[in-house]
Chains A and B, each alone.
Chain A
Amino acid sequence: EEEFKWLLQEEVHAVLKQLQDILKEASHRFALPAGGAEGAAKQESFVLSTAGTDQVKGVLTLQGDALCQADVNLKMPRSNQLLHFAFREDKQWKLQQIQDARNHVNQAIYLLMKRDVNYHFKTGSEVLKLMDAVMLQLSRARNRLTTPATLTLPEIASSGLTRMFAPALPPDILVNFYINLNKLCLTIYQLHVLQPSTTKNFKPAGGSILHNPGAMFEFGNQRYEVSHVHKVECVVPWLNDALVFFTVSLQLCQQLKDKISVFSSYWNYKPY
């Protein structure tokens, strides 16, 4: 029982402190605009690259959770003509995944801060509940980065992203940005309009992260088919760091939980 008390009073706080430090480090990676004293978060540029061909080239500039510049060159497969498009100066595109992950981490930190060193844990279940809450936030944060949203093609077509470019995107091109693990990905879909006569085997495609050529959809009374898909990506180093931090802190949480539950199984303590 003495040992359990020690665990609650000393060990728990040590682990919580450690957790907080890790998460703060992770949070810094997300470069919270309000957290940094320098005002605006710093801008980072990444070069998009594909493994094989160099049909798509481009530079993306990331500022915190927002894509503030995008500069993409697309070499049309048939005509070999070069298509260039970039973000409008006044607009930036929020990457929801990063924003959500950042918010989840901050929630976790806030939960931990509420139980600082001065706080006195009385029961094990109290710690377990706190750990559950923190772990929930952390796993959500991680999942946001690891699992991109599955969108249908009409959803992509109708998103605000299409209106972000100057010069405006040609109507037969769709773009989509997302995060997958530590990579920032850009997919470009080239479309061609389906004739109304060929409606027979029209099958609208469902939601997916990456649509394959041949996927069909209906948007604005027009039917389209995807003819070419280009996917380019770039590694964002700090996302990788953040993911590692998440994993480490999740393991810490679980270890603490296990320690506490070991005590509870040896000796029937009352939760309240």
Chain B
Amino acid sequence: MNVPVQAVAVWGKIAPSHSITAIMITDDQQTIVTGSQEGQICLWDLSSELKISSKEILFGHTASVTCLAKAREFEKQPYVVSATENGEMCVWNVASGQCIENTKLPYRHTAIYYYHCSFRMTGEGWLLCCGEYQDVLIIDAKTLGVLHTLSSQSSDWINCMCIVHSARIQEDSLVAVSITGVLKVWELSSSLTSIQERQDVCEKESKSLDCLNCQAIRFCTYTERLLLVVSSVCWQVYDYCDFSLLCTEFSKSGQCFAGGEVLAAYRLIIWTEDGYSYIYQLLNRWAQMGNSHKKFSGLSKSIYPADGKVLKETVYPHLLCFTGLKENKSFPFVMGFLNERKEPFYKILFSGEASGRITLWHVPDVPASMFDGSPKEIPIAAIWSLQDNFDKNLSMSEGIIDHLCASKYGIESAVVTSSVYIPSLDKLVCGCENGKIFVTLGLKTVRARLLENVSLKGNLSHKVLNGHSSRVTCLLYPHDNSVKFDPSWLLSGGQDSVVICWNIFTGEILHQFILQAGTVIELLRSPENFKFKDHSIVCCVCNDHSVAILHLQKKECLLHARKHLFPVKKIKFDPVENLLIVGCEDDSVYVWEIETGTLERHETGEIAKAILSSIEDSEYLVADALLPISQESKRNKNPEYKSSSSYKLGMVSYNLTHTEKSSDKIMDNSLIRQPFTVLPVKTKWNSANFHILLFDLEKLLELLLSSQLCGLKSSNSFHNLDTIERAKSTTEKRALTLKRNKTAGSISTVDGQVDAVCANQVSGDTNAVRSLEESGGIKRQKKMKSSRKIRMQSSGNIDVDIATDTAKLLLSCLLPWGVDEEIDNLCVRHLDILRLQCPVSFGLLSNESHISLMLPGWKCTDCGVLEEHTLSNLFSNRVFDLSNKYLAATEGQTETKEEPVNNTYGAKGSETVIFLFNRIALINRIINMPSLHMCFSETSKHHSPDFRRGSLLKLICCWSDQSIKIIEAMQAVLLAEVQRTTKTLRKTAVYREPLAIVENGNGKLQTLPKSEESLFLDILHFSLPLFLFFIAPVSALKHGKSSNSANFQDVEDVPDRCVLEESESPEISKSCSLC
């Protein structure tokens, strides 16, 4: 299921580390793609003046990236494939940052080439892969499934390969060199059919070259004759016709060649592992004797075998130019070369360093040596790194709590080294490098960070916990997933090897566990089904590979297991026999008895595996007997353990993938009912953290609609706007008191059914008193059922309040500020959407574990300075076009809507916020489900006579076909809608505000409910049928299909807007409950 979640990244001052292991430039020379050891892929903008600027960072891989390659014909689809150390493969759209396809195969690739033979192939082409397995794999570029292998007589790993495409030979072939230095040639184009039919394809030729550690092989397309083979100690040129050696050049001592490319006929560029490159001219001795023309003009045509011999004597290399770096020679480099012969493009030599820096050289078309014949140095064209971008855009790269520090401690701000977000309390806890821990309210902090409003920053309440002497390395709020822990406990572990148990509400230290075991790496709570004498325990992993088990109630350390030689990978509990099972990185297993603290067993190999897997089984067995809730949390738990292990393994550098996965899972299970979450992300090599804000659009919409419904009902019953306001304030109050009572800290395992929330909302004030009473009662009684009820009520109330704030925050993030001064002001005044402090880095979630985030500085190249006042948050110029188109498409609608819209918008900004938000959610939904477009556009024609909707939908479908980013579309629509609404606002402004209010007051009894309803109906009318169309297939899985379609029919039956009021309210409530 596609969860429409909008992500916003809040970076810190320090850029995430990015040790480049693979680098490529796309064919259009506009994007540099780098893969890192940490597993992220970074997209960089390359301007036509060779200026680099980081654009986006793609998360999703959990291990070091080994290679990158294009995955389609680039002009058609800007797709790039990446492969990693642990066999993951992923196809990305480098224009939008979306993950198109991903898979995990048991193969580790070191090189991938895209091969497409347009006239003889069906499908999207092949990826020819080689790596740490025998021979060459052919992988389908679209599905990433293995199609076939190219086998050979003496199979071995292939080190490097290249596709030889030659007009002369009329045959595409693959030339590869194995790890033992055997050169093999497979025919590609003539064996297409046999590959498709999965027949064995053997190599055509095989010859042992006398070189080990071959790094690169290149075919010279200019002469169609020469073959360049680069190994770490030397490079050689072979004759492609008979594979005879033409010349050899050895590297200088201490230098290893890493690759090479053919620049032009008889001109080569070779680069080394430490970042140098050399351009050679292959000279012909005969040519110097003045005998050349005859020789070479005949070369590319038919040549006698004897010629090779002659050639051998004639060719020798001459160094023309070289490039080098002055500083930082120690880092390993990855280099590449892009050779473009077309005019606007350059010949670019590029390199990426382990430190994350990219260097470019512009190689002249005709490189020449100095006059005296000595080699000339080519200057560096550009150098850039992620940190440069972060430094350049300081306001964008401000950390999430930097403003807190700034207000208190002057300029110096603490680097956040660990953080945790507690969704049930909306609290964000950040541990800093200096040992301080900040506890703040999540949403308010974020608003203060992103929005331009001084008042927000000033009165932001936060607590500072002082206790650690050095860096806080991990935080745990154990109550989050397990009810057994006291909701006031917060655990923190530091570099000083101390674990502190805090009271999160008062900030006092409950206990200090001093471990003396190095840095505390990880804090884990014990699984739900495991109990130590009816108490839950916390397990903490330290830097010296030891595991400590802490008992929080008794305030003692039960066990400190210190015998492990290797980093701890897995921790499991045996609930039956009170055992702690520790799996280490070397696949050995230690079994500890918790009560006595003795090492029971130490096993390696197969037995170790059996022990680990047997415990998993027993865990499942126990879980079946328990409540389904605990099962859920356990399921969330298991991957957490595993991925935390892989984190330590050194393969995952960012902890993201697992948190990402689990959080998404949580959303699927609707375990978290918060529409807004802060996701802390930790990096491996540097300690700094950054945060991702997740907005769940569906959830927000639900809450907003329910709140609106509540407002509608109450306004119907009280005929007064003020009551809504009052109701709201009371809910606010209630929320606060509940929060103080700690019961609002709802356990996130309850399934919040929205209709239930709605019902609670409707029952309104009367419930409020009761819920308070009950929440008092729950403390004493601690009955599961009643508490669940209350939790649902209370959290529902809070959510509505938070929801509007969250929606406003998201809207202000999306709105392109500075397009029109007047619109900006109107927005701030009437809609209470605040101006942004700085441009926002948005993210795009492709699926459960793949996300792309914009980096600070993305805007630099996308849109220049358009007008006098700088645009602060525009994604691209295309947004204007799109919004104009959108306006045109929905023009008819505007006119009909004008009248009711006028009133409502003048009166209530919050309604508008909801309306705008609705639109965004809708757009998001439409674009997210491309497969349903067709079926919808047909059904819409069939079912509804409403033409306007169809046209809008068509427009949006068309956008998504044009691969316009969701974010752009959303911004465009928002801009258009805001322009439209403010137009009406401007009109009302003529009447002056009091007048408008009076007008509203006069017509309160009749017009207001009507207008409100009509607006509401309009939204429903507009979005719900659409919504139903999209959701129907999905929700059909959950609800019965019959009820769904019945409701759907009802909605469809509603005629335009001249509908009787009686039929409306059940209608609305029904549809509300559905969505």
Contacts and interface: CB of A to CB of B under 8 A. Distances in A.
A61 interface: no
B158 to A, nearest CB: 11
Contacts of A118: 254
A82 interface: no
Contact of A114 (B154, B256, B354): B256
Contact of B543 (A100, A247, A265): A265
A250 interface: yes
Given A129-B354, A261-B543, A271-B685, A104 B132 contact: yes
A58 interface: no
A272 interface: yes
B495 A265 contact: yes
Given A100-B132, A129-B37, A250-B586, A136 B85 contact: yes
Contacts of A122: 330
B1044 interface: no
A43 interface: no
A76 interface: no
B134 A96 contact: yes
Given A34-B181, A129-B19, A99 B544 contact: no
A257 to B, nearest CB: 9
Interface residues of B, number: 43
Nearest to A272: B355
Nearest to A258: B544
B17 interface: yes
A140 B519 CA distance: 29
A241 B133 CA distance: 24
A272 to B, nearest CB: 5
Interface string B322-353: 00000000110000000000000000000000
Interface in A54-100: 94, 96, 99-100
A99 B152 CA distance: 15
Contact of B330 (A106, A126, A140, A265): A126
Given A33-B180, A129-B354, A262 B330 contact: no
A34 B209 CA distance: 11
A139 B586 contact: yes
A99 B154 CA distance: 11
Contacts of A110: 213, 232
B155 interface: yes
B565 A254 contact: yes
A232 to B, nearest CB: 20
A240 B931 CA distance: 56
A265 B543 CA distance: 9
B748 to A, nearest CB: 34
Interface string A149-185: 0000000000000000000000000000000010000
Nearest to B331: A126
B461 interface: no
B266 interface: no
A268 interface: yes
A10 interface: no
A118 B329 CA distance: 13
A9 interface: no
Interface in A237-254: 247, 250-251, 254
A44 B416 CA distance: 61
B650 interface: yes
A271 B686 contact: yes
Given A122-B330, A126-B330, A103 B179 contact: yes
Contact of B17 (A146, A268, A271): A271
A251 B256 CA distance: 29
B566 interface: yes
A125 B471 contact: no
B140 interface: no
Most chain-B CB neighbours within 10 Å: which of A132, A268, A272?
A272
A254 B569 CA distance: 14
Interface in B671-694: 685-686
B565 A114 contact: no
B364 interface: no
Nearest to B63: A136
Contacts of B567: 254
B273 interface: yes
B155 A94 contact: yes
B518 interface: yes
Interface string B530-562: 000000000000011100000000000000000
Interface string A100-125: 10011010001000100011111001
B290 interface: no
Contact of B650 (A103, A132, A265): A132
B565 A268 contact: no
A261 B585 CA distance: 17
Contacts of A119: 330
Nearest to A146: B605
A258 B606 CA distance: 27
A103 B132 contact: yes
B212 interface: yes
B66 to A, nearest CB: 11
Nearest to B155: A94
Given A103-B157, A118-B254, A265 B685 contact: no
Contacts of B544: 258
A110 B256 CA distance: 11
A261 B495 CA distance: 12
Nearest to B19: A129
Given A251-B565, A261-B543, A120 B179 contact: no
Nearest to B213: A110
Nearest to A106: B179
Contacts of B331: 126
B1013 interface: no
B45 interface: no
Contact of B518 (A132, A136, A254, A262): A262
Contacts of B213: 110
Contacts of A125: 685
Contacts of B133: 100
A139 B544 CA distance: 21
Nearest to B256: A114
B156 interface: yes
* Among all A-B residue pairs, the 4 with the closest Cβ atoms: A132-B650, A265-B519, A272-B355, A103-B157
Interface of A: 33-34, 94, 96, 99-100, 103-104, 106, 110, 114, 118-122, 125-126, 129, 132, 136, 139-140, 146, 181, 247, 250-251, 254, 258, 261-262, 265, 268, 271-272
Interface of B: 17, 19, 37, 85, 132-134, 154-157, 179-181, 212-213, 232, 254, 256, 273, 330-331, 354-355, 433, 470-471, 495, 518-519, 543-545, 565-567, 585-586, 605-606, 650, 685-686
25 contacts: A34-B181, A96-B155, A99-B156, A100-B132, A100-B133, A103-B179, A110-B213, A110-B232, A114-B273, A120-B330, A122-B330, A126-B330, A126-B331, A129-B19, A136-B85, A146-B606, A181-B605, A247-B586, A250-B586, A251-B565, A254-B566, A254-B586, A262-B518, A265-B543, A268-B433
Given A34-B212, A139-B586, A146-B605, 6 more contacts: A100-B132, A126-B354, A146-B606, A251-B565, A261-B543, A271-B686
